[in-house]
Amino acid sequence: MISEGLLIVISGPAGTGKGTVVKELVKDDSFRLSISATTRAPRGTEQDGVEYHFLSREKFEEMIAENGFYEYAEYVGNYYGSPKKPVEEWTKEGKNVILEIEVQGCQKMKAVRPDCISIFIKPPSMEELEKRLRGRGTETEEVIRKRMSRAQEELLLADSYDYVVVNDTVERCAGEIMDIISGLKS
Ligand code: ADP
Ligand code: 5GP
C-alpha cells in the first residue's frame, strides 16, 4: 500500500531563493510542485501549465464557485490560487507536494489543511538578500526597495512556521528540507 504524500508549503521573502531551492527538490521524484492559477498575463517566456495556469477572470471565478482552490488571493489586481485537484491526486499517489506561495496564502493553507507542513526559507542576511534580488536583475530599484521593506515584515512571521531553513547554499538548504521530510515520513 502506498502511504499518502505530504503537503509542504514553502514561503519566504522575494529573492531568498525559494524558486531555486524548489527546483532542486523536484529533481527528486518523490516531490511535485503545485502549479498555481492566475489571471495575470504571462511574462516573457512563461508558458501556460509550466509557471502558472493562466486563466481568464471568468474561469477563475468559476473555479472559486466550484470550491476548486485551497486558498486564493487578489494581488495587485490579479487573482492567484492553489488548485486542489492535482494536490489531492499527487498526495494519494504518495508524492510530497510543494506549494510555493506568499506568507498570507500560507496562513490560509494552515486554516484549511492543518496537516500541511510549513517551511520558511530565510536568507543568510539582509545584505545577501539584497545582493540576490539585485543579482537576479528582474526588478527596478523602486521594486527592490519595496521588496526589502516587505522582507523585514515577512521575516517577523518566520517563527509561526513549523520549520525555518536558511538558504546559505542551495544544496545544503534543499538537503535540510529533504531530511525534515524523510524524518516526518519514517
Ligand atoms: P525567490 O523565488 O525566493 O524570489 P529566486 O529563486 O528567484 O528567489 O532566487 C533569487 C536569486 O538568488 C537568483 O538569481 C538565484 O540564482 C539566486 N540564489 C538562489 N539561491 C542562492 C544561494 N543559495 N546562493 C546564492 N545565490 C542564490
Ligand atoms: P508573480 O506575479 O510575481 O508571479 O507572483 C506574485 C505573488 O503571488 C508572489 O508573491 C507569489 O508567491 C504569489 N502567489 C503565486 N501563486 C500563489 C497562490 O497560489 N496563492 C497565493 N496566495 N499567492 C500566490
DSSP letter string, 77-142: TEEEEEEHHHHHHHHHTTPEEEEE--HHHHHHHHHH-TTPEEEEEE-S-HHHHHHHHHHHT-S-HH
Confidence of residue 44 (pLDDT cuts 50, 70, 90): confident
Confidence of residue 103 (pLDDT cuts 50, 70, 90): confident
Atom of ligand 2 nearest to the CA of 11: 12
- For cell 516526518, the residue is 184
User: What is the pTM (predicted TM-score) of this model?
Assistant: 0.92
Atom of ligand 1 nearest to the CA of 135: 14
7-185 CATH:
3.40.50.300
Going from the Cα of 143 to the center of ligand 1, the distance in angstroms, rounded, reads: 16
Residue with CA closest to ligand 1 atom 18: 17
Residue, of 142 and 9, whose pLDDT is higher: 9
Q: How far is CA 156 from CA 12, 106, 146, 152, 153, in A?
A: 11, 14, 16, 7, 5
Q: Which of 21, 60, 69, 75 to mutate to test the pocket of ligand 2 (most atoms within 8 A of CB)?
A: 75
Going from the Cα of 36 to the center of ligand 2, the distance in angstroms, rounded, reads: 8
Residue 2 has pLDDT above 90, yes or no: no
Does 15 sit in the ligand 1 pocket, CB within 6 Å? Answer: yes
Going from the Cα of 1 to the center of ligand 1, the distance in angstroms, rounded, reads: 38
Tens-digit pLDDT profile for residues 107-166: 999 999 999 999 999 999 999 999 998 988 877 888 888 889 989 999 999 999 999 999
